[in-house]
Amino acid sequence: MHLLLRRAIPPALKRVAPYTKISLRGYRLPTRSTSMAEENIKYLVRVKGGPLEVAKAPKPTDLASNDVLIRLKAVAINPADTKMIDEGHRVTSYPFVPGLDGSGIIEATGDAVERIKVSDEMIGLFQSNDRSGSFQTFAIVDEQKVTKKPPSWAFEEAATLGVCYATAIAALGIGLKTPLPFIIDGPRTGLVPSYILVLGGSSALGAAVIQLLRLALPDSTVFATSSPKHHTHIVNTLGAHRAFDRSSSSLVEDVKRGTPASQGLDAIVDVVGAGTSDIFEAFNPNGPKRYAQVWTGEDKIQTPEDVDSVLFRSRDLSQLQGGDNIMLSLQTLLEDGRYKLPLPVNNVGQGFEALQKALDLMRMGVSGEKLVVTF
């Protein structure tokens, strides 16, 4: 593998059509020729906090028997991407290829793969490393980590599903410990809170949690907080019963008034690390007081002693009953139209520059949308 292109592209080069082979002051771009099309263009980071760089490698061929090779068509940006690139969060070795979300076309399959065929259009759950990061032309993942893209969904839309869906399963199954009736061989018993508040309903994770709560607990009432501009989406599209202004000074009182006799909540799912001491006053004093908080990479949020606080994260899914089946289960939900696009897509553009721009946008913070880049 060798370096092709560093962060800044000279202005003269930007005017040239993409994929035209050219040499200018030492910079080169790949061509569209057949042989070059088999190259793996990687967007990688060499040192902690270092810039994203472009490099090329041969198309990978070292598939294990349960692996699939995916040609990426679109990737979505997650907060974890910038935490990994900028702070080295959970990065074990360098150089590493970031990227946890993506969609694309199956290029090759391992010997034991039967469910998936070459040319299938897939949604994937990727891992930030040289082999499985989604910020490259070709990535290898286990077949359990992919699900078929519905034909009517654009690759850009499909790319946004994986991480927030998987982490939402962890929120319900590990954080709340609710039944998961839509997961093949998933838990069928567990906590059934009557009133649940999702802190961060307009985040990608919150949008997934709200939908899955409605599927898992159809008789429960789901509230969510966000900026007011997202309330219509949260209620009308995602299915929450009510949305509350996250900045309201009367949030606790407003939420409690939404429950019978103002008794309060049974559970809170905090997907953005928004738990403050006053929100715990919204709990029903006689309820389970379950507080499921996502691991954001920051310190765990401290809670009053009588609050049942549980940290959840997607990497613990292997501990969950049916955890290996979550992507196969997503396929059924999508085919039945029971799981919707969580958030509107902001397609930032194509290729390296768009990827850099999308990461910068993520660093500034997003509101109720998913940033996507096409390859």
Contacts to ligand NAP by CB under 6 A: 78-80, 163-164, 167, 199-200, 202-205, 225-227, 230, 246, 271-274, 294-296, 313-314, 366-368
φ, ψ for residue 314 (rounded to 5)? Answer: -65, -30
Asked if 271 contacts 295 with a C-beta cutoff of 8 angstroms, the reply is no
For residue 196, the minimal CB distance to ligand NAP (Å) is 15
For residue 301, the minimal CB distance to ligand NAP (Å) is 11
**Residue 80 or 240: which CB sits closer to ligand NAP?**
80
For residue 358, the minimal CB distance to ligand NAP (Å) is 12
For residue 245, the minimal CB distance to ligand NAP (Å) is 9
**Residue 46 or 229: which CB sits closer to ligand NAP?**
229
For residue 315, the minimal CB distance to ligand NAP (Å) is 6
**Residue 146 or 292: which CB sits closer to ligand NAP?**
292
CB atoms within 10 A of CB 248: 13
For residue 359, the minimal CB distance to ligand NAP (Å) is 12
SS3 label, residue 369: coil
Distance in angstroms (rounded) separating the CA atoms of residues 307 and 77: 33
**Residue 41 or 271: which CB sits closer to ligand NAP?**
271
**Residue 74 or 113: which CB sits closer to ligand NAP?**
74
Asked if 243 contacts 225 with a C-beta cutoff of 8 angstroms, the reply is yes
Distance in angstroms (rounded) separating the CA atoms of residues 243 and 114: 44
Say what the alpha-carbon torsion angle 161, 208, 370, 239 is, to the nearest 10 degrees: 120
Beta bridge partners of 261: none
For residue 53, the minimal CB distance to ligand NAP (Å) is 24
| DSSP letter for each residue of 11-74 | HHHHTSPTT--EEETTEEE---SHHHHTEEEEEEE-STTPPEEEEEEEPP----TTEEEEEEEE
SS3 label, residue 283: strand
Distance in angstroms (rounded) separating the CA atoms of residues 221 and 303: 23
**Residue 178 or 226: which CB sits closer to ligand NAP?**
226
Distance in angstroms (rounded) separating the CA atoms of residues 2 and 226: 45
SS3 label, residue 372: strand
For residue 60, the minimal CB distance to ligand NAP (Å) is 26
Question: Is residue 332 exposed (0-12), middle (13-18) or buried (19+ Cβ within 10 Å)?
Answer: middle
**Residue 122 or 164: which CB sits closer to ligand NAP?**
164
For residue 133, the minimal CB distance to ligand NAP (Å) is 16
> What does the H/E/C string look like for 194-252?
CEEEEECCCCHHHHHHHHHHHHHCCCCEEEEEECHHHHHHHHHHCCCCEEEECCCCCHH
Distances in Å between the alpha carbon of 298 and those of 83, 293, 294?
11, 11, 10
**Residue 262 or 367: which CB sits closer to ligand NAP?**
367
**Residue 30 or 201: which CB sits closer to ligand NAP?**
201
